[in-house]
Amino acid sequence: MRIPLFFVALTLTAGSIQSCSLFSSAPPTFCDTACTTENIRFSGTHEDTPYVEISVANCLPDTLSWSYSGLGTKRKIGFAYLIGRSVKINKDFMKVQFKENQYAWILFNDCITGRGFQIKLPYDKETPFSLKSSGLNPMDPKFSIEEGLITNTDRGNLFVEDAIDGKKAMMTFGEKLDIDYDAIHDHIDSASVTRSKIWAKIRIGNVWVIKEKKIVLE
């Protein structure tokens, strides 16, 4: 039985449209990017009630501020200016570790790329803040990081720091890796970090290898 050319063309066109639809769907995001209009605030348990707050404008983090009762001033900085780029954030994928009224660590992941950021915010206005934009944060399900530890990489090593006492340790990869921090799992598939051991599955060349090391924070 002959099939009219019209129906053949129609079938091919429909198939093409369906195929394009499948391949043009947006990639999954690391976390929910739904617009939020409420400021995000975290408070410590010290009697001076230290806090970290992120104001939101046009669905994006706008200003980062931090202070405590009796400090007499509020430190603040533009969020995108500090990070050096625009990011999408979600409160459920953020974590803040306070050291009394001395400083706070804020850890978060960009909801678009999953890239981990870590910012140390001293309340003393004479002390500058510090930023790590290559964080392995516990909000990432492929990174198991013991509570209170700050973990990041410089492409050749994994660094660990205790958020409270500042003691540190590290493990080398043995060579420099071409890590794109916006796609970190292309080179660091997973990691487990405790106060006594670092373990990571990393890609060197085209081979996935396991690196591990017993550590002492000091």
Tens-place pLDDT, residues 149-192: 999 999 999 999 999 999 999 999 999 999 999 999 999 999 99
The average pLDDT across 120-147 equals 96
Q: What is the pLDDT of residue 26?
A: 52
- What pLDDT digit, counting tens, does each position of 68-107 carry? 999 989 999 999 999 999 999 999 999 999 999 999 999 9
Give Cβ neighbours of residue 193 (< 8 Å, ≥ 6 apart).
136, 143, 144, 145, 146, 149, 151, 158, 160, 199
Q: What mean pLDDT comes out for the span 40-46?
A: 97
User: Residue 49: which pLDDT band, with cuts at 50, 70 and 90?
Assistant: very high
Burial of 188 (0-12, 13-18, 19+ CB in 10 A): buried
Q: Name which residue leads in pLDDT, 174 or 26.
A: 174
Report pLDDT digits (tens) over 101-128.
999 999 999 999 999 999 999 999 889 9
**Is pLDDT at 15 greater than 80 in this prediction?**
no
Show Cβ contacts of residue 103 under 8 Å, excluding neighbours closer than 6 positions.
Answer: 120, 121, 122, 123, 127
